[in-house]
Structure 1
Amino acid sequence: MAKITFGGNPVTLEGKELTVGDKAPSFTVLDNDLNEKKLEDYSGVRIISSVPSLDTGVCDAQTRRFNEEVGKINGASVLTISVDLPFAQKRWCGAAGLEHAITLSDHRDLSFGHAYGLVMKELRLLARAVFVVDSSNQIVYAEYVSEVTNHPNYDAALQAAKEAK
């Protein structure tokens, strides 16, 4: 498993670490209206952006950056997933002026977190990570950010999304 720290302290990740070339596992999360959503509900190239909580500065910046940049990539979308409650995600989207951002909540059963190896056992939060999944559900980019309070490599993820089919 990836070695991850949160504020400099090691955390234990639950689930299986994924790498480039793996088939993207399905998961069940909730949208802002409490509807169940799965990976298969979204098509084309998808940037899956995992964040601990939208109510933090780095998570806010990460979500804004990917949502601003994805418009430049034909046929791509961004799925931002956290364990924030759907109500809090909806409130954040409105306050951030990103009403069309896709925010999904894994709070109910951590289906996404376990499938992608992102559940920080000690905190019951998702680790920061970015995956790019192509239209055939293959992972073409995977980054587990080693220090959860740091930013991901935006440029590398966006370039992978631009090159994905």
Structure 2
Amino acid sequence: MATITFQGKPINTCGDLPTIGSQAPDFKLTNRKMQDVGLTNFAGKRKLLNIVPSLDTPTCATSTRKFNEKAAHLHNTEVLVISADLPFAQVRFCEIEGIKHVGALSTFRSSFAQDYGVELLDSILAGLTARAVLVLDETDTVIHAELVAEIADEPDYAAALAALSKA
């Protein structure tokens, strides 16, 4: 279990993020076509997982826009934003915001939040995910992991992108 804050007040996650050097757990998330996808759908590519509570919040929207901007220049890399939003809402957000280089995946019928240790256990956000960024290499080994300490803060974009450039 990890403790982060929401507006300065402590909240707990259900576990811990996968650690650097570990194999990322496979997942089942839902894409814009209501199809279940997992790590095998992105086999042989590097993956940046931008895990957010909901695209309907300012910080989540900002991080998705920023990673979308940076993703246009990344070779052999899938950038994925993962949230509890329904795929319909994710599609609408991406269309309105012009998000073309980030794939949106939903946790709505998945154990992803528990498997990755990011499910929030308390506060008004209970059941959503903490804000986190994971970078996986082509073999799904974790090469960067950040659990953002204050859920209202943006992740460290430079550190995630630097991990990709080293991979």
TM-score, normalised to structure 1, is 0.94
Show structure 1 runs of 4+ deviating over 2 A: none
Cα distance in 1 between the residues matched to 2:49 and 2:102: 12
Tell me the SS of whatever aligns to 1:53. coil
How many correspondences in the alignment? 163
What is residue 10 of structure 2 aligned with on the other side? 10
Q: State how 1:1-165 maps to structure 2 within 5 Å.
A: 1-43=1-43, 44-109=45-110, 111-122=111-122, 123-164=126-167
Amino acid at match of 2:9: N
Runs of 5+ unmatched residues, structure 1:
none
Cα distance in 1 between the residues matched to 2:90 and 2:128: 15
Amino acid at match of 2:147: Y
| CA root-mean-square deviation | 1.2
Cα distance in 1 between the residues matched to 2:96 and 2:29: 22
Tell me the SS of whatever aligns to 2:82. strand
**Bigger mean CA offset, 149-158 vs 34-43:** 34-43
Tell me the SS of whatever aligns to 1:120. coil
How big is the shift at 1:71?
Answer: 2.1
Tell me the SS of whatever aligns to 2:68. helix
Could you tell me the percent identity over the aligned residues? 40
Cα distance in 1 between the residues matched to 2:17 and 2:134: 12
Cα distance in 2 between the residues matched to 1:105 and 1:9: 27
Distance 1:27 1:15, change over 3 A: farther
Q: Any idea what the Cα deviations from partners look like across 1:121-156, whole Å, max 9, x if unmatched? A: 222111000000000110000000011000110000
How big is the shift at 1:11?
Answer: 1.5
How big is the shift at 1:45?
Answer: 0.7
**Bigger mean CA offset, 141-150 vs 121-130:** 121-130
Runs of 5+ unmatched residues, structure 2:
none
How big is the shift at 1:107?
Answer: 1.4
TM-score, normalised to structure 2, is 0.93
